[in-house]
A = this chain, B = another copy of it.
Amino acid sequence: MVFENQVIKDIINKYRVIWAIGHAQSLMGWDAETYMPREGVKERAIAQSELSVLSQQLILRPEFVELVDKASQIEDLNDYEKGVVRVLQRRIRIAKALPPWLVAEYSRVTQEAVVVWREAKQQNDFDKFKPYLEKIVDLARKTADYLGWEEHPYDALLDLYEEGLRTKDVDRILGYLEKEIKRVLDKVLSEGKYPREHLLEKMKYRREDMEKINLKTLELFGFPLGKRSRIDVSAHPFTQSMGLFDVRITTRYEGYDFKRSLLSVVHEFGHALYELQIDEKLMATPIGHGVSLGIHEGQSRFWENIIGRSKEFVEVIYPILKEHLDFIEKYTPEDIYYYFNTVRPSLIRTEADEVTYNLHILLRAKIEKQLISGEIKVDDVPEIWNNTIEELLGVKPRNYAEGVLQDIHWSMGSIGYFPTYTLGNLVAAQMKYHMLNEINIPEKILNKEFQEIEEWQREKIHKWGATYAPKDLLRKAFGEEYEPKYFIKHIEEKYLS
């Protein structure tokens, strides 16, 4: 039995209605991006907001909070039970800390800000967005103060997205990465073995053909389509879990540069696999979901970069590509491999390659940290952005859309979110090298034995759901926390001869 203690059992019973609201909200979110008629948004927005407030109220019901307090004083809880207490205490702490006016104001300002950001980006007008970003930074600083922090206010925001992540972790990781990535990148560029761009980026495909390729790829991985999952189409690919038995991914079809559709499917598969492999006994409980954004991104990046961009994976899907895309016959698997792995210092984060990606995060994290501490002002951001990206990557934005206005995140109020992308890249590489101690990954890929890779992930990470806090989970799985050296090892071994 996973849950034995009676107090914990009571908590789980009472929690189920909160879980049910979350289930409904997940479906509503998925539907809004896939099938909802356009004007449905009016009522969907009201419903989402009402259910968010209701969910908070239920979490803060005195009898529920007391039960969680009571459980926290029991000494002989097992790990699952401790996990339940940890997750709920954290949710209660956050819900209690933030005054309703702040939550409402954040929601109001960011809803407007997203709209204004879109216009500002289109019109290349930073001044238009500036007052909103100022307001958001101000609200984020207030949020940090209400949540409480010891060493740096940015700590409080980081923790919202990645439980236990601190500014000093981010400094340590990004400091190391900056130095090391620049060293590797210089070499990769001077060796010139990996191209900066590829002819295949321009090749057009028909959506029906690409759909078949994506489905066959998911079939190779054993994705339980129709049984416990689906794949649909949305403007931006994402994974949504309605629970352990219903995890859905999306992709998009731009009609050219087919790796973007394929590798997004492989990426989202990695997210979905995490949720699908959580122990079924954790269904509808407070720990029945992936533990954090960083660990989640680790699973998706592992599949996208470690599996999806490998020579062996290209070998395996080459016949599938050839069957459905006419133009492939003019290219060898090696060509495809280099097409999957161009290295090009560029301005846009979402188009960045494996080697340069984390430098984009570095830039954002630096700015966020200083905005939150008050060292810099929103006014200074465009100049800092442009100078830093040039310093890091040798490229300079010609306009705001290529620079400070490129990402939606800040307009949504997500400050402290970006570092989880880098954590994902680190965890993926970390998983690779620990897995290599036990499993010959290239051979497994070549033999299409993906199941063994998946089982390894299940045992080390997935099955636990949110039982352990992120750092504890990593320590349990790998004997260490977020460790950037594997990522550097990975890009050195892959990109340098």
Using a CB–CB cutoff of 8 Å, the interface residues on chain A facing chain B are 16-17, 19-21, 23-25, 27-28, 31, 35-44, 46-48, 50-51, 53-54, 224-230, 232, 242-246, 248, 283-284
Contacts and interface: CB of A to CB of B under 8 A. Distances in A.
Contact of A54 (B20, B39, B40): B20
B37 A20 contact: no
Contacts of A50: 16-17, 19-20
B35 A24 contact: no
Contacts of A53: 17
Copy number in the complex reads: 2
Contacts of A44: 23, 242, 246
B284 A36 contact: no
Contacts of A20: 46-48, 50-51, 54
14 contacts: A16-B50, A17-B54, A20-B50, A21-B51, A24-B27, A27-B27, A35-B232, A37-B228, A38-B228, A39-B227, A40-B242, A42-B245, A43-B243, A43-B283
A43 to B, nearest CB: 4
Given A37-B230, A40-B228, A46 B16 contact: yes
A493 B254 CA distance: 57
A289 to B, nearest CB: 12
A246 to B, nearest CB: 3
A40 B243 CA distance: 8
Contacts of A242: 40, 43-44
A40 B245 contact: yes
A244 B61 CA distance: 33
Contacts of A245: 37, 39-43
A423 to B, nearest CB: 29
B24 A229 contact: no
A38 B232 CA distance: 16
Contact of A37 (B19, B48, B224): B224
B230 A38 contact: no
A224 B41 CA distance: 15
Given A47-B24, A284-B43, A246 B17 contact: no
A38 to B, nearest CB: 5
A54 B18 CA distance: 10
Contacts of A243: 40, 42-43
Contacts of A43: 23, 242-246, 283-284
Contacts of A28: 24, 27
A437 B37 CA distance: 36
User: 6 smallest A-B Cβ distances: which pairs?
Assistant: A40-B246, A20-B50, A24-B24, A43-B243, A20-B47, A23-B47
